[in-house]
Amino acid sequence: MTITPDQLIQFSPLHRLQWEEAQQKYVILYPEGMVELNQSSAEILKLCDGSRMLAQIVAELEEKFATSGLTNDITNFLNVALQNGWIKQA
Amino acid sequence: MAGSNKLNITPPRWLLAELSYKCPLQCPYCSNPLDYAKYPNELSTEDWKRVLSQARKMGAVQLGFSGGEPLTRQDLTELVGYARELGYYSNLITSGYGLSEEKIVELKQAGLDHIQISIQASTQELNDHIAGTATYQHKQDVAKLIKKHGYPMVLCVVIHRENIHQMPQILEMAENLGADYLELANTQYYGWAHLNRDALLPTREQFEEAEKIAQAYKEKVAGKMKIYYVVPDYYEDRPKACMNGWGTTFLTIAPDGTALPCHSARELPGLDCPNVKDFSIAEIWNESKTFNFFRGTGWMQEPCRSCDEKLKDFGGCRCQAFLFNGDMYSTDPVCSKSPERHRIDTAINSARELALSDREKPLVFRNSKNSKQF
Ligand code: SF4
Ligand code: SF4
């Protein structure tokens, strides 16, 4: 299972992405479990709202952090996210 | 107190709210205390709200509404709504009894995140026998409704000698019902399960066979249905890291408001478990004698004290040490380094003898009539 570039990416309706004040970090919540996210993973997942495709997510983040060359890192992370069921396509 | 180690107190992450000991089912492996009938009092809605907000403030985020049967509480929807406002990820742990489509929708609107429904077996006859109530058909219907209304569905099947031979059918049933998660929970022998152990504990051969089938199925349904397999620790040579360490992660509140580091802790002597009516959650978690009792490693005896695995399993389960050895400070007898390991082997053999004989030992069902005898 890998990301299809020309399809929208949405966060899984069976998971919840949430800021945790006590932990000062974003977490993913799902039945019987919780994953703590580092800042860059959280920034990527926040853009997975069903309105963007891979290239748009990359472009937005590169602009936000005034950098370039993020395509590989973001694609790798999204592939992991897809395999874990955190995001889905179509 | 035994092991006060206040330097290193992590906040609770999981809160188990046992709303009521009332339950229309009578599972003979129920983990509620044998003498639950002694505690008929239940916290008020206001008490529960206070508990939820205090624990949330400390950092608790995973919330289980359980029991007994949590649906027996009339204020369940209100509590679910309140928990959602606070930002909990909440789970209803139910037998499905009394769960109508209307209620499923109502709870969803209130903000419930997922539902864990238990099914006792893959056939009506066995399910209804073990549950002590005719519930099989209703449970199947409820499972479908849970999916229909967009919840992640966790199907929980407790495994023991009466249903372990159904492993292939249980796996198929879960897949057909569209479960997102299947929890195959080998019985943990506390409470009623401990009482019924001779009749419930599978033989090693049965266990190994069932585990092989479950593991193979795991691969078959990868990406579709997640299987959580809870091992029966009697057949292991290291104990489980019980509750991820005492007072580190889990907080259970019993129906009457007693705060427990694990749901069997009430059976340990001299713990004086505090009640949420008398103390705040922060006081209970940080300062109570109960929650500090087995924190850290200072309380340990040999062989745990000088063992290089003590931060891995924390010496195992205190309740199991007490149940077998009569000494809650001792090494969990499951551990092959424990001088008491033979007690586990004796229990295994005793159940095995019964399994291989044609004798029958009737199950003691979990109901208030039986509970009043303890
Ligand atoms: S294990 Fe069975 S009897 Fe015990 S609370 Fe759950 S459904 Fe009720
Ligand atoms: S001796 Fe104690 S700490 Fe060491 S493995 Fe056994 S239970 Fe764990």
Is B181 within 8 Å of chain A by CB?
A: yes
Backbone phi and psi for residue B364, each to the nearest 5 degrees, phi listed first: -95, 115
Number of neighbouring beta carbons within 10 Å of residue B352: 18
Residue B302 pLDDT greater than 90, yes or no: yes
The predicted structure's pLDDT at residue B118? 93
Please give the DSSP secondary-structure letter assigned to residue B9. Answer: P
Burial track A61-79 (b if 16+ CB lie within 10 A, e otherwise):
beeeeeeeebeeebbebbe
Q: Looking at per-residue confidence, does B299 or A32 come out higher?
A: B299
User: What is the average pLDDT across B317-338?
Assistant: 95
Is A23 within 8 Å of chain B by CB?
A: yes
Q: How far is A72 from chain B (nearest CA, A)?
A: 24
- Closest-approach residue (CA) in chain B for A23: B59
- Residues of chain A positioned with their CB less than 8 A from the CB of B223: 1, 83, 85
Distance CA A14, CA A26 (A): 17
- Residues of chain A positioned with their CB less than 8 A from the CB of B9: none
Is B76 within 8 Å of chain A by CB?
A: no
The pLDDT tens digits for B333-360 are: 999 999 999 999 999 999 999 999 988 8
Q: How far is B219 from chain A (nearest CA, A)?
A: 14
CB A22 to CB B58 under 8 A? yes
- Residues of chain A positioned with their CB less than 8 A from the CB of B57: 22
Tell me if residue B90 falls in helix, strand or coil.
strand
pLDDT band at B5 (very low <50, low <70, confident <90, very high): very low
Q: Are strands A49-52 and A9-11 parallel, antiparallel or unpaired?
A: antiparallel
Test site for ligand 1: of B18, B69, B200, most ligand atoms within 8 A of the Cβ: B69
Tokens of B205: 């051969």
Please give the DSSP secondary-structure letter assigned to residue B343. Answer: H
What H or E segment, with its residue span, contains residue A41? helix A39-46
CB B180 to CB A31 under 8 A? yes
User: What mean pLDDT value characterizes chain A?
Assistant: 93
Is A35 within 8 Å of chain B by CB?
A: no
pLDDT band at B232 (very low <50, low <70, confident <90, very high): confident
The predicted structure's pLDDT at residue B7? 55
Tokens of B31: 């983990």
ipTM score: 0.86
Is B245's C-beta closer than 6 angstroms to any atom of ligand 2?
A: no
Tokens of B240: 């489980």
Is A2 within 8 Å of chain B by CB?
A: no
The pLDDT tens digits for B13-64 are: 999 999 999 999 999 999 898 989 999 999 999 999 999 999 999 999 999 9
The pLDDT tens digits for B123-162 are: 999 999 999 988 999 999 999 999 999 999 999 999 999 9
A18 → closest Cβ in B87, B114, B181:
B87
pLDDT band at B3 (very low <50, low <70, confident <90, very high): very low
Is B10 within 8 Å of chain A by CB?
A: no
The pLDDT tens digits for B177-227 are: 999 999 999 999 999 999 999 999 999 999 999 999 999 999 999 888 999
User: What mean pLDDT value characterizes chain B?
Assistant: 93
CB A18 to CB B116 under 8 A? no
| Ligand 2 centroid, distance to B273 Cα (angstroms) | 26
Is B84 within 8 Å of chain A by CB?
A: no
Q: Of B169, B163, B130, B137, whose CA–CA distance to B25 is shortest?
A: B130
Place of tokens 């290239």: A55
The predicted structure's pLDDT at residue B1? 45
The pLDDT tens digits for B63-93 are: 999 999 999 999 999 999 999 999 999 999 9
Percentage of chain B modeled with pLDDT above 90: 87
User: What is the average pLDDT across A22-46?
Assistant: 93
Q: For residue B156, say whether it is annotated as part of any ligand binding site.
A: no
CB B91 to CB A13 under 8 A? no
Ligand 2 nearest atom to the CA of residue B314, by list position: 3
- Closest-approach residue (CA) in chain B for A27: B61
Give yes or no for a contact between B70 and B91, defined as CB atoms under 8 angstroms apart: no
Residue B111 pLDDT greater than 50, yes or no: yes
B89 → closest Cβ in A16, A83, A85:
A16
Please report, to the nearest 10 degrees, the dihedral formed by the alpha carbons of residues B90, B94, B96, B97 taken in order.
-130
Residue B8 pLDDT greater than 80, yes or no: no
Q: How many CB pairs under 8 A join A and B?
A: 45
- Closest-approach residue (CA) in chain B for A1: B223
Chain centroid to Cα B166, Å, comes to 22
User: What is the average pLDDT across A49-66?
Assistant: 95
